[in-house]
Amino acid sequence: MNRFVKTGAAWGCAAWLLSACGGGSSNISNNQSGGGSEINNADAAALPGWTLVWQDEFEQAGLPDSSKWVFDTEFNQRGWWNGELQYYSQNRRENAEIVNGKLVITARQERLTSAADYGNQNYTSARLMTRGKASWTYGRFEVRAKLPCTLGTWPAIWTLGTGGAWPADGEIDIMEQKGFNVAEKRQVLGTIHTSANHAGNSLGAYRALPTACTDFNTYQMTWDANKIVIGVNGVDYFTYNNPGDGNPSQWPFDKPQYLLLNVAVGGVLGGAVDNANLPAAMEVDYVRVYRRS
């Protein structure tokens, strides 16, 4: 999604171009190749050379763990970016709760007119982030999730720079799913946003994924000083290389980024909303962050 050029909870570009993961890019290729928490190190066995440094397995039913996640509600009253239609609630189990070992982020057709920051939205959802709780410079990120099939939903797994300036501090969209038609629900995309590459010049790629909204798939991003590699189910499909010229407009990714999970409604990548098939949810099985051993 894209964020706004002010500090705060999402990533930034011009007001119209902000979103919840990294979206709205006209130059994305169709090339398909292309905190302190208890750590279960047994989970790192499948990744030799990596050490698990942060995780949420969503084992405790109820609201998300407040020691790891905060709710982003900053732009509810003014309205969210990219033409999005949702109100992001806080500590509301109807929009974000842990059930049967899964984090469920649910978009609903409803008006929370009693909320103090209500912005006249016809939909609710949730946007969770680790800002102020955990951030990382380099590592491997893995998120296992099942995406919504309902048209008009726009789920995202992404990171933003802790400096709060968008696009100067960079954005990494590990996974976004468009919502315009059934075919787009069967593919995902990964995108990079920087000062030199954002809005219509964003860099990324699509990946065909027929089971995106019917099964759980593992979305991963590997990030080091030389490159960022985005993939799904162990298959990499997009690489962004550090140009190596020291220009932060091309490579702001030598500073910490924090993680976001959300389901937007409508907007430049969500499209027209199929109200008849709401509520709709993204289910997250786990989030794991590794550092090279």
Q: What is the pLDDT of residues 94-126, one digit of tens each?
A: 999 999 999 999 999 999 999 999 999 999 999
Please state whether the predicted TM-score (pTM) of the whole model is above 0.85. Answer: yes
User: Which distant-in-sequence residues (6+ apart) come within 8 Å of 55 by Cβ?
Assistant: 37, 39, 40, 43, 286, 287, 288, 289
Residue 20 has pLDDT above 60, yes or no: no
Which CATH number is associated with domain 15-292?
A: 2.60.120.200
What is the model's pLDDT at position 3?
A: 54
Q: What is the residue-averaged pLDDT of the chain?
A: 88
Average pLDDT, integer, range 247-269? 97
Q: Are 10 and 20 in contact (CB under 8 A)?
A: yes
- Residue 58: pLDDT band (50, 70, 90) is very high
Residue percentage of the chain with pLDDT more than 90: 81
Average pLDDT, integer, range 55-84? 97
What is the model's pLDDT at position 84?
A: 98
Average pLDDT, integer, range 17-38? 36
Residues labelled as active-site residues: 171, 176
Give the whole-angstrom CA distance, residue 11 versus residue 1: 7
Residue percentage of the chain with pLDDT more than 70: 84
Comparing C-alpha atoms, which of 197, 293, 290, 177 is closest to residue 240?
197
What is the model's pLDDT at position 1?
A: 78
What is the model's pLDDT at position 39?
A: 52
Q: Over the stretch 126-169, which tens digit does the pLDDT of each residue have? A: 999 999 999 999 999 999 999 999 999 999 999 999 999 999 99
What is the model's pLDDT at position 252?
A: 97
Per-domain boundaries in the chain: 15-292
Average pLDDT, integer, range 81-93? 97
- Residue 53: pLDDT band (50, 70, 90) is very high
